[in-house]
Amino acid sequence: MTQPKVLILRTAGTNCDAETDTAFQFAGAETALVHIQNLISGKVNLSDYQILAIPGGFSYGDDISAGILLAVEMKHKLTDAVNRFVGDGKLVIGICNGFQVLVRTGLLPGVSTSANGTSQMTQRATLAMNTSAKFECRWVDLETQESPCVFTKNIKPSVYFPVAHAEGRFTAPADVLAELEANNQVVFRYAESEYPKNPNGSDADIAGICDTTGRIFGLMPHPERFLTKWNHPRWTRFSQAQDTATEEGDGLAIFKNAVNYVKANL
């Protein structure tokens, strides 16, 4: 395999697909922007790819609730394809609206298994309205947690990413939160609990989680918006030492990790 292949899923209202495409190309992947109808119709086969990326935006205008209509399409029209993709040990990342989709499909915190051994996508958490009751658009400090997440292997202990969402408050029943903690499925937390450092009031300051395998990852902040130092909001104030230290932004490592994992394992 010369280049891992990434399918970047898009539909009406998706608006971060170009940035996600650039991020994976910077990381060395071959990318394709694919409308969901081309998957549903069979024109494009999900199994031809090793990474599925669901980018941010406002899919279907976030009618009813953020990400829910795209989640319904995936859950009821692409169940077999998605289950097969996940079962083959491939990677999935959902960013912002994509995280909302993964949670509403049940792919995060993780697909459960029924008594007869079949996989079930059941929603067990949600991304609710921010406690500020408004759209939050700001850069935030995140603390990287110990987790099995493929995408954050050896990443910096603290990173700086922008958020842009109105429904980013991760919340779940106490037993689900306890399960996430016990399994080390929390990948990122907001560095501080107080608003605006925690921009949405998430339970336990959760900004991103993975499934128990570490191969499915969702987060509200946007790593694809910090790929180079020039994306940093204060890049003009960097010292010369900072200038020469690295050209990469904090987010690029997430996409490189995914590409390197595929190269090594699939």
**pLDDT tens digits, one per residue of 32-79:** 999 999 999 999 999 999 999 999 999 999 888 899 999 999 999 999
Alpha-carbon distance 214 to 205, whole Å? Answer: 20
Q: What is the pLDDT of residue 8?
A: 98
Catalytic residue among 96, 165, 167, 210: 96
Whether residue 212 contacts residue 110, with contact meaning beta carbons closer than 8 Å, is answered with yes
Whether residue 219 contacts residue 225, with contact meaning beta carbons closer than 8 Å, is answered with no
Catalytic residue among 73, 149, 165, 222: 222
Task: Specify the CATH class of 5-265 in words.
Answer: alpha beta
Chain centre distance of CA 55:
7
State the pTM of this model: 0.94
Over the stretch 194-236, which tens digit does the pLDDT of each residue have? 999 999 999 999 999 999 999 999 999 999 999 999 999 988 8
Q: Is 106 left (phi over 0), alpha (psi -120 to 50) or beta?
A: left
Alpha-carbon distance 180 to 188, whole Å? Answer: 12
The single-letter DSSP state of residue 133 is S
Domains of the chain, residue spans: 5-265
Over the stretch 107-133, which tens digit does the pLDDT of each residue have? 999 866 555 656 677 899 999 999 999
- Concerning whether 179 is annotated as a catalytic residue, the answer is no
Alpha-carbon distance 227 to 250, whole Å? Answer: 7
- Concerning whether 224 is annotated as a catalytic residue, the answer is yes
- Closest C-alpha among 168, 224, 229, 235 to residue 195: 168
The secondary element (H helix, E strand) that includes residue 266 is none
Alpha helices in the chain (DSSP H): 17-26, 36-40, 68-77, 79-87, 97-105, 174-182, 240-245, 252-265
Name the one residue in this structure whose structure tokens are 């921009």.
Answer: 199
- Concerning whether 96 is annotated as a catalytic residue, the answer is yes
Going by their DSSP bridges, the two strands 5-10 and 30-35 should be labelled as parallel
Catalytic residue among 73, 136, 167, 224: 224
Q: What is the pLDDT of residue 260?
A: 97
